[in-house]
Amino acid sequence: MAFNIFRPFGSGEPQRDARGRLIGIDRYQDVLGRNWKRFLLSGLCTLAGFLPFAAGVAYAILSSSVLVLLPAGLLGGAVAGPFLACLYDTILRALRDAPGSWGQNYRKALAQNWRGALLPGALTGLFLAAGAFAGMMLFGLAEVWPSVGTICIYLFSWLLFFAISTLYWPQLVLFEQRNVIRLRNALLFALTYFLPVLGTTVLQLVFWLLMVLFAPWTLLLLLVAAIWFILFETLFLLYDDLEKAFRLEEQIAEQFPDQPVRRD
């Protein structure tokens, strides 16, 4: 299981899998140490892509206008979608040890994914805008604290969003498929690997709750963590299960024989 990332204390030499790669915490440190600059650059590009979305949604919340919120979420999300796809692509390339410079791979990912990322980006933006607006109305401006049931429904909607996003975007950047197939694959994967998926979605929910609760100070972390950190943690924990379910590296090797993977 991908969750067994810690090597027992005093176990000697780092362990390796059948492919010769490090495993556990050693693999985590290796991938992060070699690729954190790539993650940071891709994350900053993603933040820049979300600026129109943030500006539009902020104006909609301040003016309490749903008429502004809907187009701001859809259009802002469509703009941000290709950049978010490139961030997923960067992390997944690192996890499969794909070669190439950051600039070369980023331009390639942008060219391959920008068109397909427009619609899911718009839907992502719509949910984020609605979730932010609802959160402000429920917890920021409401005179009476919402009921426990309302809070649970609100948090559950975010858990569902994180689960779908985590399992949908990797398929978008890796495979040429119809959206219906991607959603079906996401559902089957979530049912098969329920506990890992639940764990990573809860991890994302806690991370972003902390970012919101301790704002504006935590906004400074965006310039360093820049969205990429929590996505890397999530994909690292799920990668072995994703590889087992979707045969990621085998299919990538078949479709792109010019992308050999590095061996430790």
- HEC string for the chain: CCCCCCCCCCCCCCCECCCCCECHHHHHHHHHHHHHHHHHHHHHHHHHHHHHHHHHHHHHHHHCCHHHHHHHHHHHHHHHHHHHHHHHHHHHHHHCCCCCCHHHHHHHHHHHHCCCCHHHHHHHHHHHHHHHHHHHHHHHCCCCCCCHHHHHHHHHHHHHHHHHHHHHHHHHHHCCCCHHHHHHHHHHHHHHCHHHHHHHHHHHHHHHHHHHHCCCCCHHHHCCCCCHHHHHHHHHHHHHHHHHHHCHHHHHHHHCCCCCCCCC
118-134 pLDDT tens trace: 999 999 999 999 999 99
User: What is the predicted pLDDT for the residue at 257?
Assistant: 60
- Phi and psi based region of residue 6 (left: phi greater than 0; alpha: psi -120 to 50; beta: remaining): beta
Q: How many CA atoms lie within 13 A of 94 on its CB side?
A: 28
User: What is the predicted pLDDT for the residue at 137?
Assistant: 84
User: What is the predicted pLDDT for the residue at 180?
Assistant: 94
Arithmetic mean of pLDDT, 135-160 = 86
What average pLDDT is seen over the chain?
88
174-184 pLDDT tens trace: 988 899 999 99
- Determine contact, residues 71/90, Cβ cutoff 8 Å: no
Mean pLDDT is lowest, of 9-18, 112-121, 159-168, for: 9-18
User: What is the predicted pLDDT for the residue at 2?
Assistant: 42
List, in order, residues 6 or more apart from 159 with CB less than 8 Å away.
198, 201, 202, 205
Q: Count the residues in the chain.
A: 264
Angstrom distance (rounded) from CA 175 to CA 245: 14
CB atoms within 10 A of CB 133: 20
6-38 pLDDT tens trace: 444 445 577 877 676 888 898 999 999 999 999
Q: Is the pLDDT of residue 47 over 50?
A: yes
Arithmetic mean of pLDDT, 153-169 = 96
Name which of 165, 162, 245, 247 is nearest 198 in CA terms. 162
Per cent of the chain over pLDDT 70 is 89
